[in-house]
Amino acid sequence: MASHRKSRTPGTRVAGIRPPALATAALTSVALLSQTANAAPSDDGKPSLEEVEKKVDDLYRQAESATEKYNAAKERTAKQRKRVDTLLDDVAKRTQRLNEAREELGSFAAAQYRTGAGVPDTATFLLADSPQDFFDQNQLMDRMTGRQKEAVDEYVTQQSETMEKRREATESLGTLTESQSDLKTAKATVQKKLADARELLSQLTAEEKARLAAIEEKKQEEAARKAAELARQQAEQRKAQEEAREEEAQQEGGASGTSDASGSSGSAVPPSSSADSSYAAKAEKALAFARAQIGKPYVWGATGPGSYDCSGLTQAAWKAAGVTLPRTTYDQVDAGTTVPVSQARPGDLVFFYDDVTHVGVYVGNGKMIHAPKPGTYVREESIYYDGESSIHSVVRPA
């Protein structure tokens, strides 16, 4: 991840004039007193607002982490259930064919019974646990006709394949049970974390909630400032790249001494690569879809169309562009090329936290569209909404 310029602390500088030292000290004292008032625990032993905010944020993050585990377990369960259904259907068909082969052998046994030929051998064969073992110990095949041999071969084959498929189905059923257990555990964890967060918030007074909202507002103001700084850096990079391409085009044009039919000097900026153009076209579709979802509620485990969780939104957005992304953040982070934050382009996926449990779609100018957390709605905001250190990586989908 590319490093960022150290941000300047917002102050009261006007037209480049530094405030007097006393004024600066006063402002600092006010800020420290305000922070101390918010951070200090109350006389009744209640946690400070900062402690409550941190605890609630941690619970939401833990819920989001559990949500991604739920999404993964849900996907595994769906795949395993489909496999089990396919295997059971196959077993049923093979059992039918096995019964038909057994019936054909039974008809031979009946015919032998009527003629009195080979009844003990055939009857023993049909009752044997393993027909192949029976053949190894007897020379029944030598006394059978060609059609009888074909019927026996078919029976042996069907029995062997049916037993193998039954074994696979049994194993798959066991795996399905494990996946369902994981799904149940993840679901319970999400619900518990969200319930704990709601309980903490419910204990706040109206005044405390207002102060907590003010703290959040200040965080978002700082996030917006950082986004603007990133947008400025990216604009400078684009300008430098364009100037470099223009200079290169002019040098190439001067060396060749050629011009087009209209007398142009050929100094236009060379077009971007076809790969860049293709990605930009797809990213535009993904972003158009994401923008259309703004205002829809975050619901854990949701993939649309009425609600989304974070990875459900990014998956649906890129699906609208014809690109299939995995379901979870853990897998989406590997579904493309990692690029520095400073080189993020519209459509890129921005991942958050060390455990990669959140993701949004970059829209440019340091902002993204994402489904933040329970109780919120899909929205556009700074990629620094939870601080610069929360950004894990930026990935350009393949």
Residues with catalytic roles? 310, 358, 370
Verify cis geometry, omega within 30 degrees of 0, for the bond prior to 305.
Answer: yes
In whole angstroms, what is the distance from residue 110 CA to residue 123 CA?
9
What are the residues facing 358 on neighbouring strands? 352
- What are the structure tokens assigned to 320, written together? 């609208």
What residues have CB less than 8 Å from 252, skipping those under 6 apart?
Answer: 266
* CA distances in angstroms from 207 to 201, 214, 238, 274, listed in the order given: 12, 11, 47, 57
- For 366, other C-beta atoms within 10 Å of its C-beta total 24
334 residue type, one letter: D
Q: Which long-range contacts (CB under 8 A, 24 or more apart) does 270-276 make?
A: 270/245
